[in-house]
């Protein structure tokens, strides 16, 4: 026989405000990182039948992958003090979800 427990959270107003702030910041982070990947992809792709052969190929930017974006979290926390309130594992999980979303889309 398996026993399962179910708990209902009842946060107070201060905790609700903190949760809403964290969700808003993580939404901004998710959209920014996903936009970073899509902009790189749209700037650096070229259809085979439409590539210019006369012009030199420009230097490609580094592809924003999971590890480069995770490394950039330190800069984000330095620039935006609000992100220091969020645990680092939560921000890393947000980038992991961006990676999964981008792999599924592209």
User: Does residue 9 lie within any of the structural domains?
Assistant: no
Stretch 86-98: mean pLDDT? 93
The number of folded domains in the chain is 1
Give the pLDDT band (50/70/90) at residue 62.
confident
Q: How far apart are CA 95 and CA 34, in angstroms?
A: 9
Task: Indicate whether 73 belongs to any domain.
Answer: yes
pTM of the model: 0.77
The residue range of the domain holding 95 is 17-41+63-105
Grouping H, G, I as helix, E, B as strand and the rest as coil, residue 56 is coil
Q: Does pLDDT of 56 surpass 80?
A: no
> Does residue 71 carry a pLDDT above 70?
yes
With a cut of 80, say whether residue 99 has pLDDT above it.
Answer: yes
């Amino acid at each position: 026989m398996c026993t399962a427990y179910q708990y209902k959270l009842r946060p107070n107003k201060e905790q609700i405000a903190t949760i809403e702030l964290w969700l808003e910041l993580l939404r901004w982070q998710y959209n920014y990182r996903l936009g970073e990947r899509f902009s790189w992809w749209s700037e650096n792709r070229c259809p085979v039948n439409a590539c210019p052969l006369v012009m030199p190929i420009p230097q490609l930017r580094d592809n924003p992958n999971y590890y480069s974006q995770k490394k950039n979290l330190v800069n984000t926390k330095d620039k935006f003090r609000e992100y220091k309130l969020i645990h680092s594992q939560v921000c890393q999980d947000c980038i992991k979800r961006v990676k999964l979303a981008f792999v599924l889309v592209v």
